[in-house]
Structure 1
Amino acid sequence: MDINTILTFVAVATLLVISPGPNGFLIAKTVPVSGRKAGFANVWGFVAAFYVHGTLSIFGISLLLVQSSQAFIIFKMLGAAYLIWIGIKALISAFETPKVTIQVTSLPDNRPVKTLTAFAEGFLTNVLNPKVSMFYLAAFPQFMGIEESTLNAYALVTAHSLVNLIWFSTMVVLLAGMRGIANNQKFKKWLNATTGVIFIGFGSKLALMRSA
């Protein structure tokens, strides 16, 4: 595999990464409320999921998933249910009436998520999305020869992960400056309502997606 092949793959992966999707909206939901550390945890969750999909694709397990309509339906419905669940939680938070107490300033109603929870959200958002495996299954034959080793396949997964890491880390840093805005109740309601609708939309789209 030469440098031109890798650069071409990076260009294709970059177009995929920067297109609007659940990852960007998850970052936008997490960082203003929970801060930079939680945002980076989301990103590392994405990366971990890519290596899971990459490994499954390299060893042919994802091919069985794509070829088996029943397995594909179960897998995509799990992913769709998870995205819709995130959306519903966000909508509930958006329309929830904040409790007025003496300590309201020290205990905001929109509680920040823990680092491990943020990592899990990033990981599950991607590992339950069959589109990632489908991308690898489509890309590997285009950018690798039959005789090439699994090491080269992991090089492509790493390139894809680095593009994600750079793009979404930049987004985290930019959004970290907005964290103070999260103390505004109107902003929190708008943010939760918007991300809730978007995640339900992504989940519904995934549920309706057909196997290639």
Structure 2
Amino acid sequence: MTFEALLAFALIATLLVISPGPNGVLIARTVPTSGRAVGFANVAGFVAAFYLHGALAILGVSVILTQSAQAFTVVKIAGAAYLAWVGLKAVRTAIRGDAAQASVTPAARRRTLWRAFREGFLTNALNPKVAIFYLAAFPQFIPAGGSAGSAMSLVVVHSLINLAWFSLMILALGRVLGLARSGPVQRWIKGVTGIVFIGFGAKLATTRL
């Protein structure tokens, strides 16, 4: 794979990463309420899911999702249900005012690093769009007969771009952490992000091959 092809992929991946999506919404919800470390745990979950999708694409398993409408539907509905579940929980918390009541509790007691990692992982692992992105990108940027290492290098680039972008986002959000931890702001954040997550879930549920 040429350096020019790698740069072209990096440009496309960057545009994909910075576009609004569930990952950004999850970070925007997590950092103000639970802190920077938990936000980075979310990002670690993103990256782990990317490597899973990359490995599946290389092994050819992901091809099944694009060629089998039934398999694609199962993964799609599972992902949509997860996003909707996360969104409904956030909206319920905002309506009940739990965020305001819990604002005096240390963030680490509300969300563990493992839970944040799991949220980030499931948000991407259950999103068939990530698998489709890799399946579409690999043939475009890897020459015929290219090795699995070439394909994984694209996953590495995608992961590094995610890490860089969301690290900047986490650090920026961390600067307003004190304000964002106030009860009214937490309720507003949870309500808005909950609605957005439900919207992403509905959009994913209506996605077609």
Q: TM-score, normalised by structure 2?
A: 0.95
SS of aligned partner of 2:144? coil
Question: Which residue number in structure 2 is paired with residue 194 of structure 1?
Answer: 192
How far is the alpha carbon of 1:146 from its aligned partner?
Answer: 1.9
Tell me the C-alpha RMSD between the 2 structures.
2.0
Question: Which residue number in structure 2 is paired with residue 163 of structure 1?
Answer: 161
* Cα deviations by residue, 1:136-159 (Å, 9 ceiling, x for unpaired): 000000001121100000000100
For structure 1, the 5+ residue unaligned runs are none
- Shift in CA distance, 68/105, structure 1 to aligned 2, threshold 3 Å: closer
How far is the alpha carbon of 1:185 from its aligned partner?
Answer: 1.5
The one-letter code sitting in structure 2 at the alignment partner of 1:29 is R
SS of aligned partner of 2:111? coil
For structure 2, the 5+ residue unaligned runs are none
How far is the alpha carbon of 1:106 from its aligned partner?
Answer: 4.3
Question: Which residue number in structure 2 is paired with residue 23 of structure 1?
Answer: 23
SS of aligned partner of 1:20? coil
Alignment of 1:2-151 (within 5 A): 2-98=2-98, 106-107=104-105, 112-151=110-149
Q: Which aligned runs of 4 or more in structure 1 are off by greater than 6 angstroms?
A: none
Q: TM-score, normalised by structure 1?
A: 0.93
Percent of residue pairs identical: 53
Structure 1 or 2: more helix by fraction: 2
Aligned residues: 209
Supply the distance in 2 between the matched residues of 1:206 and 1:142 (Cα, whole angstroms).
25
Supply the distance in 1 between the matched residues of 2:159 and 2:16 (Cα, whole angstroms).
12
Supply the distance in 2 between the matched residues of 1:151 and 1:40 (Cα, whole angstroms).
27
How far is the alpha carbon of 1:123 from its aligned partner?
Answer: 0.3
Native 8 Å contact 2:40 2:167 kept in 1: yes
